[in-house]
Amino acid sequence: MVCINCQSKTEVINSRLQKKSNRVWRRRFCPQCKNTFTTIEAFHDLSFIVSDTKLPKTSPKPFSRDNLFISLYLSCGHRNNPISDATALTDTVVGMLLPSIQNGCIAKSDLLATAQSVLEHFDLVAATHYKAYYSKSL
């Protein structure tokens, strides 16, 4: 990576994995201008497929983090700051789903159940809304 001030190469002087958010925190140093700064590195795009096991004739669809965020945002609409709540909930759900992905595929019922479980621990009103609108295929 290049320095944000002088665009010369930087060195990593400290690095930590953030398990919950599946990101890497790095402290970087520029030997040229002696600048120190922090970066947070994350996956830009998760590529896996969501399949509906209850409807085997339907074709699997690519996972959309945006669709997950929107469903959680709509469920958190009654809260003071639904955008930040939905963002954190989306990170939590995706982090919990990563270990259960097998061969690049996850069952739609697993995705819905994980989101429902996370919401139940966070806000019962949001969990009730999510269950009413999105968990029809559970």
Q: How confident is the model at residue 91 (pLDDT cuts 50, 70, 90)?
A: confident
The residues near 127 (Cβ < 8 Å, ≥ 6 apart) are 75, 116, 119, 120
Q: What is the DSSP string of 81-131?
A: -HHHHHHHHHHHHHHHHGGG-BTTEEEHHHHHHHHHHHHHHH-HHHHHHHH
pLDDT of 62 strictly over 80 = yes
**pLDDT score recorded for residue 4:** 87
Q: d(Cα 101, Cα 49) in Å, to the nearest integer?
A: 9
For residue 2, the tally of other CB atoms under 10 A from its CB is: 12
The residues near 2 (Cβ < 8 Å, ≥ 6 apart) are 8, 9, 10
Per-residue pLDDT of 110-134, as tens digits, reads 899 999 999 999 999 999 999 999 8
Per-residue pLDDT of 1-47, as tens digits, reads 898 889 999 999 999 988 766 688 999 999 999 999 999 887 655 67
The residues near 77 (Cβ < 8 Å, ≥ 6 apart) are 129
Token pair in block for residue 96: 């919990």
Classify 37 as helix, strand or coil. strand
Token pair in block for residue 76: 């958190």
